[in-house]
Structure 1
């Protein structure tokens, strides 16, 4: 089961800008990456896990000519397209709106009916806003559990869910939401934060000794690095816990982006870890963590470094 949520609006004071990324992608001869998501499946009674990833940011799409070696001595040979990084003291949030203009028919496909627009809005996201987003997603997940495991479930296969074993994994702010949900809802037994800042801090009293995995970039999410919320969160986690970082990884390493981007010719020079290794590492460690936490199975992979995954570092602050 996968949850894919968008950021909420920051308010009227937020500055919004609509970006026509599809046009840029068309000029480059590539497609923009879609939102990343993950899926966990089990046999027998279903162990409920959820993933709430952050929307995929635009990486650096390579033009068709950039994938080949440039002609010798040709100074005008094309290279990967780049955009300047956003400026200002705040992180950049994004909302997506699906709007319908009922006064116009679609000018390109009149038989489709009213004109519809999909708009991305970017705005300065203050930490307090991000904390509210994380708490909001926690409420969303609790509502989902109510609708899936309550007396009148919304899903026809709800009986396959084992409500006694529920885990939540999330990427970016979705990872923060995993901790927020566990703090607010005792039904969630284990959580995973994949490279997400704890804008909504881990509860001061911990998570009632429930297990939690922090899986992030190296060195960006190593102890004492730029994101001090991980150091603070680690100190508050009071159950089984692991802090793992991955060499040569980027923020979107733990999503579907590397696999999809590789097929589209999209490269991220800041994350040289291959799509195959990105997928293998994420699958292996998240699966091992949930097998141990929800099924009670041995997880030797979580005991320490292994030659099979040399990129993964065990942090013990």
Structure 2
């Protein structure tokens, strides 16, 4: 089996507490920006590259969700995930006592295939990479928030690295990478994800973009954020692809150390109230603008939708952040960091403690 420290050991126990009876269908809080949010999905195939986990599958295939500012609301809200994907996530993390389609019932705020809003090369782009075994939908609340504030957001499912995902036509694939015995899987995974992201950027911002709104993206203002393994992959992607101007690691152990030459792009570590030794190790090698913030009372899942959604379906993950608080905090600080470094807008909460977010503090782990 693969290196448990990569993700399964982190995930184990997060969704396994005995659930209470859930009353209402789960929902994502409404985003706070001024734009209606549209969403669509893309199937992409990288014919230049063999799948790293299932070579016999042939070319690397990816599913990407795009969230974006829309000209108006549409007729139908987007599903959060399919019932099969919900079952894969809940079974994979050991949940019992709730319907296995519970997560698929989640009410979102984005409308399917609505018309994008914006001028040519006017919208910054943020790429989101989820945690190991978790799908791209696990960061939907953050994606909707950023889109409502005028960002295009691309959430990537890294194929064969999550409990279950669906391709067009209904083909369903599971976590083949979970069953592999790979030396230094963490390094292999972040390097593979960096290649996934660069390919997606090519497809979105190249001369013939695969999305109809591709010409709205400003290729000079691109950032990446990720949770867990996705967060660990941000630095590697920024090192290998100069199009990534800023990065956000949401509670992801740095499986591949930063090089001695360092990373000069703006970078945010956002974590539980803990001192990850790999972050302490790499802190000095972040040579550009940098911050390390911690959320008191959070758990690993608090940097995704699952802390909040787990509570809504009756599963206690151990967080003390009630209601939608985990999502509110992550949305506010990630958006502030991106607004500062992609839009040059000063952000007071990043410069000093914010009274409205007493749970957030600057880490002293590196002092």
What band does the TM-score fall into relative to the shorter chain?
A: 0.5 to 0.7
- In structure 1, the residue corresponding to 2:255 is in which secondary structure? coil
Q: Does 1:254 align with 2:297?
A: no
* Residues 96-130 of structure 1: per-residue CA shift (max 9 Å, x gap): 4779xxxxxxxxxxxxx99x765455447767111
Counterpart contact for 1:33–1:56, Cα < 8 Å? no
What does 1:122-201 correspond to in 2, within 5 Å? 122-123=178-179, 128-201=184-257
- In structure 2, the residue corresponding to 1:189 is in which secondary structure? strand
2:361 to 307, 313, 316: 313
- Structure 2: segments with no counterpart, 5+ residues: 1-38, 43-50, 56-87, 111-115, 135-159
Larger radius of gyration: 1
* Residues 248-273 of structure 1: per-residue CA shift (max 9 Å, x gap): 1111101111232222112112x222
User: In the alignment, what sits opposite 2:66?
Assistant: none
Give aligned pairs, total: 251
Deviation of 1:39 after TM superposition, in Å, equals 11
Q: Does 1:51 align with 2:128?
A: yes
Counterpart contact for 1:48–1:165, Cα < 8 Å? yes
Most deviating of 176-185 and 27-36: 27-36
Deviation of 1:9 after TM superposition, in Å, equals 3.9
d(CA) in 2 for partners of 1:203 and 1:23? 34
Q: Does 1:243 align with 2:288?
A: no
Give the direction of change, closer, same or farther, for the CA distance of 1:24–1:177 in structure 2 (3 Å limit): closer
- In structure 2, the residue corresponding to 1:238 is in which secondary structure? coil
- In structure 2, the residue corresponding to 1:170 is in which secondary structure? strand
d(CA) in 2 for partners of 1:23 and 1:230? 26
* Residues 192-219 of structure 1: per-residue CA shift (max 9 Å, x gap): 0000011012232122x21000000012
Counterpart contact for 2:222–2:244, Cα < 8 Å? yes
User: In the alignment, what sits opposite 1:290?
Assistant: 338
- Structure 1: segments with no counterpart, 5+ residues: 12-17, 58-92, 100-112
- In structure 1, the residue corresponding to 2:302 is in which secondary structure? coil
User: In the alignment, what sits opposite 1:268?
Assistant: 317
d(CA) in 1 for partners of 2:89 and 2:305? 23
* Alignment root-mean-square deviation, CA: 3.9
* Residues 112-168 of structure 1: per-residue CA shift (max 9 Å, x gap): x99x76545544776711111011111111111111111111111111100010000
Give the direction of change, closer, same or farther, for the CA distance of 1:300–1:55 in structure 2 (3 Å limit): same
User: In the alignment, what sits opposite 1:301?
Assistant: 349
2:265 to 202, 206, 210: 210
- In structure 2, the residue corresponding to 1:162 is in which secondary structure? strand
TM-score, normalized by length of structure 1?
A: 0.68
d(CA) in 2 for partners of 1:146 and 1:182? 15
